[in-house]
Amino acid sequence: MDDSTFGIAAVTPLAAGRSSAFASGLCVVEQDTDDIDLGFADSAAGILADLSRQKILYAKNSFARLYPASMTKVMTAIVALKHASTDTILTAGDDVNNMEAGAQVAGISPGDTLTMDQALHLLLIYSANDAAVVIADSVGGNMDSFTEMMNKEAAALGATGTHFVNSNGLQDENHYTTPYDMYLIFQEALKYDLFKEIINIPSYDTIIHDASGSEKELHYSNTDLYLNGTKSAPTGITVVGGKTGTTTAAGHCLVLLARDSGGKPYIGLVMRAADQDAMYTDMNAMLELIQN
């Protein structure tokens, strides 16, 4: 399948099965805001949702079928938080490192033990693909069963343009979502206090244990450059935190929670940006639409 064709395939909003009853309490995209030009590339996508007014301030390619990359881990966190205790002890299986070369990992090895709380921090702060595998195996028993749980949760949220085949977002042509679906998934994740707490952390230090019981010290910085001060949001806007995602096929992606000077919340989403600078430029262009 040609990736450029796949990347702009559209899911019709009405065909996506979102009823007015379901939309209660959500921002609904009826169509893209074609009257607002923020300089996005034609293939890029973006959504800015005003949560307090339940209003979409900007939408581009809202129902395009795109690859989510590591934004997938937002759904991984939802399923984990819904079905497991944070003090659950996880033991890494032999499949923990069965992934493509160059994939970002925290250094978890077969036999290592850590808590679900630690795994969620590594998952959301550092985007550790090995943490995503450990979570899937622990909660679902194996990756296939866990992704069934992810897809069931997506359907329940009305994210009917979404299909997951793994817990980390590594590339697969059958692993996809839409910008609007990703907004729905992220808004659901924000209902969990621990999720909001973790995405706001700039860096994370922890100790896990190997199969012999010896300590392994881990230290990682947040992949969201707003959190570590490398990038700045527009004046009057505070970025609480979010989730990045990057693969060659997906481009550069970011979904986040921001607040205006009065503390009102917004969800911003950029997908398929050409590079990291374009992603943050596009996000800031959207955030500048917020009236403080």
Decide if 170 is inside a domain: no
Is the same domain home to 55 and 87? no
Is the same domain home to 58 and 102? no
Choose one of 203, 221, 239: the last residue of a domain: 221
Decide if 42 is inside a domain: yes
Decide if 272 is inside a domain: yes
pLDDT band for position 292 (cuts 50, 70, 90): low
Domain membership of residue 45 as a residue range: 3-67+226-287
- What's the residue count for the chain? 292
pLDDT band for position 1 (cuts 50, 70, 90): very low
Is the same domain home to 92 and 147? yes
* Model confidence pLDDT, tens digit, residues 222-262: 999 999 899 999 999 999 999 999 999 999 999 999 999 99
Is the same domain home to 94 and 201? yes
Is the same domain home to 81 and 41? no
State the residue for tokens 């450059």: 225
Is the same domain home to 232 and 207? no
Strand, coil or helix: what is 221? strand
Is the same domain home to 267 and 144? no
Mean pLDDT, range 10-31, rounded to an integer: 53
Is the same domain home to 159 and 230? no
* Model confidence pLDDT, tens digit, residues 44-94: 999 999 999 999 999 999 999 999 999 999 999 999 999 999 999 999 999
Decide if 214 is inside a domain: yes
Is the same domain home to 15 and 153? no
Contact 76, 122 (CB under 8 A): no
Decide if 237 is inside a domain: yes
Decide if 172 is inside a domain: no
pLDDT band for position 101 (cuts 50, 70, 90): confident
Strand, coil or helix: what is 55? strand
Is the same domain home to 49 and 146? no
Mean pLDDT, range 166-187, rounded to an integer: 97
pLDDT at position 5: 34
Is the same domain home to 116 and 156? yes
pLDDT at position 32: 87
Decide if 188 is inside a domain: no
pLDDT at position 22: 39
Q: What is the value of pTM for the model shown?
A: 0.92
Decide if 190 is inside a domain: no
How far separated are the first and last CA of the chain, in Å rounded? 44
Q: For residue 182, how many other CB atoms are within 10 A of its CB? A: 29
* Model confidence pLDDT, tens digit, residues 35-44: 899 999 999 9
- Report the number of distinct structural domains present in the chain: 2
DSSP structure class, residue 145: H
Q: What is the mean pLDDT of the chain?
A: 91
pLDDT at position 73: 98
Is the same domain home to 92 and 151? yes
How far apart, in whole angstroms, are the C-alpha atoms of residue 169 and residue 175? 7
The alpha carbon of residue 249 and the mean position of all alpha carbons in its chain are separated, in whole angstroms, by 16
